[in-house]
Amino acid sequence: MDKKPSSRLKILVVDDEAEARLGLSHALKANGYEVVELASGKQVLSTAREEWPALIVLDIVLPDISGIEVFDQLRADPITKVIPILLLTAKPDVVKEKLATIPEKSYRYLIKPSRVEDLLKSVRELLMGGRN
């Protein structure tokens, strides 16, 4: 039996904390998105090229590669540079400083912990006009 392709937008959720990943995934799935959960920076770098997501929700603190470094590598890759990214951080000053020269239309950040409403609003904004 052939599987029909999903018409739902695919979002990669990257967080090394299982509970945080589950919470994010649940909120996104409940709002009609297809979710692929990942726990490390290396996983997102390879999966982003394979899955071609509409958006990546990326925690800054990861066990193998920092979220900022993952962001930089995604932006340097001609295939993944157009994917909007929602960064999650407990330290917004670090994000502002590191990404000061990058146009904000290609990314947003949320301070952890954040409300589901804020997550969904940021996701919608990035999906509507976040691509370069």
Report the chain's mean pLDDT, rounded to a whole number. 88
pLDDT number for residue 71: 93
Cite the beta strand spans of the chain per DSSP E.
10-14, 34-38, 55-59, 85-89, 107-111
Q: Would you place residue 113 in the very low, low, confident or very high pLDDT band (cuts 50, 70, 90)?
A: confident
- Residue 125, SS3? helix
Instruction: Let me know the angle formed at the C-alpha of 73 by 45 and 64, rounded to the nearest 5 degrees.
Output: 60
Q: 107: buried, middle or exposed (CB in 10 Å: 19+, 13-18, 0-12)?
A: buried
> Is residue 113 reached through a cis peptide bond, with omega within 30 degrees of 0 on the bond before it?
yes
Q: Would you place residue 129 in the very low, low, confident or very high pLDDT band (cuts 50, 70, 90)?
A: confident
- Residue 23, SS3? helix
- Tell me: the pLDDT tens digits for 41-89? 999 999 999 999 999 999 999 999 999 999 999 999 999 999 999 999 8
118 — phi, psi (to 5°)? -70, -40
pLDDT number for residue 64: 94
pTM: 0.88
Contacts of residue 9, Cβ cutoff 8 Å, sequence gap at least 6:
32, 33, 34, 54, 55, 127
Whether 2 has a pLDDT exceeding 70, the answer reads: no
Give the Cβ contact number of residue 74 at 10 Å: 23
